Amino acid sequence: MSENREGWFEKTDRLIVNILRVLSNFSGIFLIGIMFVAFFNVLGEKLFHHGIPMSTELIQYFHVPVVFLAACYVTLDNGHTTIDILSSHFPRAVQKVCNTIGCLLGIVMCSFVGVMGISRMTQAIANHTKSSTTGAGFPIWPFIFIFVVGFFLLAISFLWALIRLYCKKEEPVVKKPEEGGAE
């Protein structure tokens, strides 16, 4: 009788990955926002000789959630934070040590930047900092908040990647056939 039961780790892993995937979807929403702002700005400039005020600033600040809400999901998906061009040739034990060091450095650095971001956000709130010095800007503290949340989520993502490294059952390595080669 073969039961396919998931343990606590698999359930927790799936839950964390799903939460981070949902958050990364907000990144896509802001990316669509960038597209609309750019499109309607160009359309307004060409047709009416007047574009969207502060369109450059909006696009600039919309990049914050695009990057920082997706980075944590990409980390758990072994995306851009894992560069294994050299380490993939190391023995498994050395790879594990390298990944452990990388995750620990990621946790420390992301946590530090997040804490420093809290300080910057409180200054921006206290000083009513706007995106533009011309007076027509918008408050920047929400974007700093997203930045801070993104870095703390990235630190949590590195922590979970570290836990995964030691708790996840190792899957057998299957050699992939080379693409585009003659058989």
Q: 120: which 2 tokens?
A: 């910057």
Structure tokens of 150?
């993104």
Torsion of CA 159, 75, 101, 9, to 10 degrees: 40
Which pLDDT score is estimated for 63?
A: 92
Between CA 21 and CA 26 the distance in angstroms is 9
The alpha carbon torsion through 155, 68, 72, 174 (nearest 10 deg) reads -130
Q: What is the per-residue pLDDT for 92?
A: 86
pTM here is 0.77
Rounded-to-integer distance, Cα 151 and Cα 159, Å: 12
Say what the pLDDT of residue 38 is: 93
Contact call for residues 90 and 171 (beta carbons, < 8 A): no
Q: DSSP per residue over 31-70, as a string?
A: HHHHHHHHHHHHHHHHHHS---TTHHHHHHHHHHHHHHTT
SS3 of the chain: helix, strand, coil, percent, to 5: 70, 0, 30
**Residue 117's pLDDT is what?**
95
Q: Residue 130: beta bridge partners?
A: 139
- Say what the pLDDT of residue 2 is: 42
Token pair belonging to 140: 């920047």
Identify the sign of the CA torsion 158, 164, 167, 173. Answer: negative
- Which segments of the chain have a pLDDT < 50? 1-3, 172, 183
State whether the Cα torsion 112-132-41-22 is positive or negative.
positive
Q: Which residues pair with 139 in a beta bridge?
A: 130
User: Do residues 157 and 102 touch, judged by C-beta distance below 8 A?
Assistant: no
63-78 residue pLDDT tens: 999 998 888 888 887 6
Residues 158 and 110: their CA atoms lie apart, in Å, by 9
